[in-house]
Amino acid sequence: MFKLLYSREFRQKAVPYLLIAPVLIYYALFWLYPVIQCFAGSFRDVNNKLTLYNYAFIFKDPTFYKALFNTAFIVVFSVTLEFLAAFGLALIINIKFKGSGIFLFIAMIPMALPAVAVGAIWSSGFATYGWLNSFLYYLGFIEKTAKIPFLAGGNVASMILIIIIDAWQVVPFMMIILLAGMQGLDEEAKEAGYIFGGTKFTVLRKITIPLLKPTITTALILRIISAIQIWLIIVMIYGFQRLPVLLEELVYYVDESHSMEFFRIGIAYSVIISIFVSIAAVIYLKVTGAFGKEAEETA
């Protein structure tokens, strides 16, 4: 046994596991353990007894289904539209035209702003006497007495407004990821496509996009996760539960001013949100073929 432990072959095999052991211990203590505690706590009442009341309350609450629909609407449309916009901007900047560096710097400014600042900027802008109506008046688009009620629209109009605000902040984030991937591509592959008679669109569709697939996958998964976290901007502009989303409901129920019963419901909300995020990520990876590619490389 001791000879085996001190053998060179054993040490070579054991070194990688020893190097990652601190990371595994860290995640076990500060991620896995809290997750297990949270999951177990979602099935407990205020007296620490097993119950399904927390989940029953959520699934009977009509606000939950509104929040689920709004979250899905924002995720699907914002991720799709923002990816297309970010991909187009990345293609333009990758040309490296004169002034592209300045354009990139200006485009990155919204990305550096925290969600609180973004919410404050647009909340003051969309107010009846906010800076946006004043700006439109000075440009001559509206009369002084004719104010546009930006925040008076219905549910769909409000979500479209949120998607526009979110795109203003998040498109630069996706653009940077895609631009980094484009700049790391092998130029010889694209040149070969042009040599064999390919047009710019053909090279983009059959060479550039397939080579960018890992980068696109990473950008979209990160975007899906951040799209679910848009609640703070919504709350700052519309307030709680006027345009409910899942994470907003979680924050509402875990508020310290509420009872322990509400806090337990909030824990159940966190479990549901985690499951939805995981399912969305797995479905996307399955659709994009990431699992199949990994399986082929492993084989």
| pLDDT 10s digits, 173-228 | 888 888 888 888 777 777 777 777 777 788 888 888 888 888 888 888 888 777 77
CB 277 within 8 A of CB 72: no
Residue 2 has pLDDT above 60, yes or no: no
What average pLDDT does range 223-248 have in this prediction? 82
- Each residue's pLDDT tens digit, 100-118: 788 888 888 888 888 888 8
Read off the pLDDT band of 6 (50, 70, 90): low
Supply the DSSP string of 26-46, one letter for each residue. HHIIIIIHHHHHHHHHTTB-T
The CATH classification number of 45-298 equals 1.10.3720.10
The residues, any chain, with a CB within 8 Å of residue 18's CB and separated by 6 or more, are none
| 40 backbone dihedrals φ, ψ, rounded to 5° | -65, -40
Domain residue limits, the chain: 45-298
Per-residue pLDDT at 55: 92
CA neighbours closer than 13 Å in the CB half-sphere of residue 166: 26
pLDDT (0 to 100) of residue 296: 46
Sign of CA dihedral 31, 32, 37, 40: positive
Cβ atoms < 10 Å from Cβ of 125: 16
Helix (H) or strand (E) holding 58: helix 53-60
Share above pLDDT 90 across residues of the chain, in percent, rounded to a whole number: 2
* Rounded Cα gap, residues 230 and 243, in angstroms: 11
Instruction: Report the share of the chain in percent with pLDDT over 70.
Output: 90
pTM here is 0.75
As a three-state string, the secondary structure of 202-267 is HHHHHHHHHHCHHHHHHHHHHHHHHHHCCHHHHHHHHCCCCCCCHHHHHHHHCCCCCCHHHHHHHH
pLDDT of residue 155: 81
pLDDT given at position 297: 46
Residue-level pLDDT at 101: 81
Residue 69 has pLDDT above 50, yes or no: yes
What region does 154 belong to: left with phi over 0, alpha with psi -120 to 50, or beta?
Answer: beta
**Pairwise pLDDT comparison (5 vs 104), residue with the higher score:** 104
Nearest to 163 by CA among 49, 67, 79, 243: 79
Q: Higher pLDDT residue, 90 or 286? A: 90
CA distance 119 to 232: 7
> Which of 262, 224, 198, 257 is closest to 46 using CA atoms?
262
Dihedral pair phi/psi, residue 298, rounded to 5°: -65, -40
Q: How confident is the model at residue 7 (pLDDT cuts 50, 70, 90)?
A: low
Q: 21-51: string of b/e by CB count within 10 Å (b at 16+)?
A: eeeeeeeeeeeeeeeeeeeebbbbeeeeeee
State how far the Cα of 61 lies from the Cα of 253, in Å rounded to an integer: 13
